[in-house]
Structure 1
């Protein structure tokens, strides 16, 4: 090409290059989110709102690496097989950049296995089984919420103070419930060697025969009860337990029962004095939480639930990971998330390099019936960093699983 020809076509070529660069800069990062929205609406409705608020705030501030965030949401039907199929559709058909989500532990484990096989970065927001980051942890899976070991470790000191010898246990018979009970038994036995577990009821998830379960627990005459039931199963259990006097003069230690998702449903049936992990949104006065609360209420004209915090913090985590990685490449995201620091409504957290577990904590307190509404009282925040197994325990559990 002559010099004259080049000069004539140079502006066109420059425009093409500039346009391509601009299109890339103004593109989007697609976040593929799969969850059990139809099966667990009490938690996942607010969770979705929390995600939407975070996306709106991030995009209003200019996005990430010059790109806006876009949510692509799918339901996994609370089924591990469907969850893997949906994950594959999000990756291959929707071309999402980041894979996130899942609520139930068995669906979370299925998607984590998919992530490992496909070498795709996966950020699990909610599943609580310890196998997600420890016994079955893999290089591509990270988790936001404190798992069953961490939450049991937060509750066990309070349980040990009760000095109750005979304990009964009730839990949903699937991965989450089994993991929670194993952690509680192990940690309470360490804190109180003479403890006895005199009864154990493990109904299928969502199929609680409340009368039979409550009667079996009462017949065992325990001094205290550890409960892991949630959602509709929890409501049925509390109603039947109140009716039959199961909780009279017995302390109950209960995982996640202090979350508004479940206390709201109990209303005037809320039992007094259960020791629980939960989310007393009405009493947290830290600057981080107040800013989140104000923004959430302004956007949705409603108060947040714990799901709202998890969804919000998960999107914030994904955005910080993309920013640090400078790319949505899975291997770069994995490297970026190791040690990643993120600001959340519960304060700053980080994702541990050794096990991919975040240090997000939980509130521990007691249930109280406040004029027909369930609330938490006498609560305090437990930093997740203080309730994780040692590096040696993590290495041993992950090595044993390989």
Structure 2
């Protein structure tokens, strides 16, 4: 009996392998392009793009999408709205993509959405844009159901940042924020949440790109003698602003948005000056699929996924490709977008986030069924505005990475936000 079972198991494994091989062979007969506009010229952006490509490779191993090999055409946004829009236009107009991954910064994603993807009926799936301006745009019916993001809105980070200030006993906080859609949104929300907790915001100062010096802005922020500094910045301007802040005698008590979860920022400022700095970020839930992603990532890249947006990039790419599979060959962006709910269906068949899961999904979708995608950030659920909710973490820098200080479950996050309101 045991021998028979081994034969059956081996036969089943061989059949699965042959099916994957046949699918892959069929996929070589045609190629479908998808676009990605991601900040590959910055150290924290490259892993986000590499993670997206990892998904594409897994899907191609499973036979591609709708019988075709997927080619991800990647363009660097340089975290610059104009560069990002030009890149997106080239991908849509020249490469003919119906799916666009990106961008990372809300200030880049928003003009791409309004001037490129919505007018062209292209699905835009962002791993890392968190501004609540996208929610408002969707509520006004101006996204045409074409925008989804696997990263929770800025409201989560703002609330958790305010919680950190309260827990650390800070009575006053100055804010430095990037002068774009993301930074402006974050500044408004964290100001509201700090004040709801009785914490004084002594100043709120915008930081613009490419300035030779931030001395005037930092001097203004220092004038109120705050207990702590809140940083809603990216690594380049964050490094320059914090160096200026420290050189002028500013406190080392800092609260950082997730964009500063960067080796570049830590190394350029110096770990010795960041001992009192705490960061916030959204997090994957404590579920098996999130652990499986970490294991697969480590096997692929040789290190843990410690940078910002990596799990979100994985899920954004896999969900977009599943929706393409559900929509069928030569589907348009709006047709692909309409299938997102079918591949993230709470009542659907659970599938894993890997080659085998994609192959399983293909069969289920072909038979008219739906699937429940279980990914790097758990069982992803989009609301009517294309938004997701997520747990959160508080973190600090270590010599070669970051370390989790506190984990807040989705329920804890939602309860804390409700208490602020």
TM-score range, shorter chain: 0.7 to 0.9
Give SS of 1:73's match. strand
**TM-aligned CA distance change 1:68 to 1:387, over 3 Å:** farther
* Equivalent in 198, 216, 219 of residue 202 of structure 2: 198
Matched, 1:293 2:320: no
| Secondary structure of 1:118 counterpart | coil
Whether contact under 8 Å (1:153, 1:387) holds in the other structure is no
Q: Secondary structure at the match of 1:207?
A: coil
How far apart, CA to CA, are the structure 2 residues paired with 1:275 and 1:77?
26
Summarize the Cα distance change of 1:366–1:78 in structure 2 as closer, same or farther, 3 Å threshold. closer
Aligned pair 1:238/2:238, yes or no? Answer: no
CA distance in 2 between partners of 1:253 and 1:184 (Å): 11
Moved more, 257-266 or 102-111: 257-266
Give 1:111 deviation, angstroms. 1.0
Q: 1:154-208 CA distances to partner (integer Å, 9 max, x unpaired)?
A: 333333445544321111222211110011122333x32x443222221213437
Residues 314/111 of structure 1: CA separation in 2 closer, same or farther (3 Å cut): same
Pair 1:172 & 2:189 matched: no
3-state SS of paired residue (1:350): coil
Q: Helix, strand or coil for the counterpart of 1:109? A: helix
How big is each residue's C-alpha offset from its partner over 1:330-359, in whole Å with a ceiling of 9 and x where there is no partner? Answer: 22222222475233323221221x211133
1:252 aligns with 2:254: yes
Partner of 1:29: 32
Residue aligning to 1:143 = 149
Distance 1:93 1:290, change over 3 A: same
SS at match of 2:104: coil
Distance 1:380 1:199 in 2: 29
Alignment of 1:55-70 (within 5 A): 55-70=56-71
1:367 aligns with 2:407: no
Aligned with 1:184 (options 174, 183, 190): 190
Alignment of structure 1 residues 95-244 onto 2, 5 Å? 95-113=96-114, 114-135=116-137, 138-139=143-144, 140-162=146-168, 164-189=170-195, 191-192=196-197, 194-207=198-211, 209-244=213-248
Q: Which runs of 5+ in 2 are unaligned?
A: 1-24, 345-372
Decide whether the 8 Å contact of 1:260 with 1:278 is kept in 2: no
Call closer, same or farther: CA 1:294–1:23 in 2, change over 3 Å: closer
Q: Which residue in 1 is equivalent to 2:403?
A: 376
Q: CA deviation at 1:222?
A: 1.4
Q: CA deviation at 1:87?
A: 2.2
**Alignment CA distance shift 1:159-1:318 (3 Å):** same
**Shift in Å, 1:89:** 2.3
Distance 2:270 2:289 in 1: 29
Aligned residues: 357
Cα distance in 2 for residues equivalent to 1:279 and 1:153: 11
CA shift digits 1:88-129 (9 cap, x unpaired): 322232122312211232221111112222222211222232
Contact 1:270-1:374 within 8 A present in 2 as well: no
> TM-score, length-normalised on structure 1?
0.76
Contact 1:32 1:98 in 2 (8 A): yes
1:324 equivalent among 301, 308, 326:
326
In the alignment, structure 1 segments of 5+ residues that lack a partner are: 1-21, 391-402
Match of 2:385 in 1: 355
When the two chains are superposed, the root-mean-square deviation of aligned CA atoms in Å is 3.3
- Which is greater in Rg? 1
Q: TM-score, normalised by structure 2?
A: 0.73
Taking structure 1 as reference, are residues 88 and 376 closer, same or farther at Cα in structure 2, changes over 3 Å only?
same
- How far the C-alpha of 1:151 sits from its partner, in A, is 1.8
Q: What is the alpha-carbon distance in structure 1 between the residues aligned to residue 118 and residue 219 of structure 2?
A: 44
Match of 1:306, SS state, is coil
Establish whether residue 274 from structure 1 lines up as the match of residue 277 from structure 2: yes
Q: Tell me if the contact between 1:28 and 1:69 (Cα under 8 Å) persists in the aligned partners.
A: yes
